Chains A and B, each alone.
Chain A
Amino acid sequence: ETGVTQTPRHLVMGMTNKKSLKCEQHLGHNAMYWYKQSAKKPLELMFVYSLEERVENNSVPSRFSPECPNSSHLFLHLHTLQPEDSALYLCASSQEVGGRATTEAFFGQGTRLTVV
């Protein structure tokens, strides 16, 4: 496989469930990102991992918990979500030098999350 792949593509979960989103990149990049896309809103940057260390957390509620075990894999652990968390969650990767992306970000296809 090439590029950035996300699983699952669709997820429906109850507010008391715990689930995880998975992202894998085969581009050899050293930075990975989680974005949230809600209807009619900009893509919101949630988390940034550079060289497997979290370097940015944009005021995301603690019910979202990221994990980056290595430079190719990124997870987003979800627990006790709210219906307003329903959105498209996008993973992306890029190559960073000194904290700046030197390539454009490559995105996965996203996970469509519905919280009921």
Chain B
Amino acid sequence: DQQVKQNSPSLSVQEGRISILNCDYTNSMFDYFLWYKKYPAEGPTFLISISSIKDKNEDGRFTVFLNKSAKHLSLHIVPSQPGDSAVYFCAAKGDTGKLIFGQGTTLQVKP
């Protein structure tokens, strides 16, 4: 039973446009959510997070939105740049304190 799901395996966006990556979760005990970015041949690196007491967190071009009632979060990147091309993992943490990851979405930003 997969508790964190990223249903879109890939996304292609034109440079300068908005990229929207989606993530759904099933465990209502999750109270902290994170996005990681992974380039080929590198480990995932932390990008942005949000606590369940908030519905939005912004950091430069990156904004994460949380909809607790829908158990859905999304990552918005605007404007998208070719260097943003990577695999993006959504992760959630709950009462066990351990990170549960989704399967990732590969973002390609075309120049």
Q: Which residues of B contact A41 (CB under 8 A)?
A: 103
Q: Which residues of A contact B44 (CB under 8 A)?
A: 43, 90, 107
Say whether A96 contacts B45, CB under 8 Å: no
Of A60-68, A79-87, A98-106, the one touching chain B: A98-106
Q: A-facing mask of B37-59, CB < 8 A → 1, else 0?
A: 00001111110010000000000
Say whether B45 contacts A107, CB under 8 Å: yes
Say whether B43 contacts A42, CB under 8 Å: no
Say whether A109 contacts B9, CB under 8 Å: no
Say whether A40 contacts B93, CB under 8 Å: no
Q: Which residues of B contact A51 (CB under 8 A)?
A: none
**B20 → A minimal CB distance (Å):** 20
The complex places the Cα of A104 from the Cα of B51 at a distance, in Å, of 12
Q: Which residues of A contact B42 (CB under 8 A)?
A: 109-110
Say whether A101 contacts B93, CB under 8 Å: yes
The complex places the Cα of A110 from the Cα of B4 at a distance, in Å, of 22
Say whether A90 contacts B43, CB under 8 Å: yes
The complex places the Cα of A71 from the Cα of B42 at a distance, in Å, of 23
The complex places the Cα of A101 from the Cα of B100 at a distance, in Å, of 12
Nearest CB to that of B48 among chain A residues?
A: A104
Say whether B43 contacts A100, CB under 8 Å: no
Q: Which residues of A contact B99 (CB under 8 A)?
A: 45, 101, 105
Q: Which residues of A contact B100 (CB under 8 A)?
A: 42, 45
Say whether B97 contacts A108, CB under 8 Å: no
Which 8 A-B residue pairings sit nearest by Cβ, starting from the closest? A100-B97, A107-B43, A43-B101, A104-B46, A42-B103, A42-B101, A109-B43, A107-B44
Using a CB–CB cutoff of 8 Å, the interface residues on chain A facing chain B are 4, 6, 9, 35, 40-43, 45, 48, 56, 90, 92, 96, 98-101, 104-110
Using a CB–CB cutoff of 8 Å, the interface residues on chain B facing chain A are 2, 4, 9, 34, 36, 41-46, 49, 89, 91, 93, 96-104
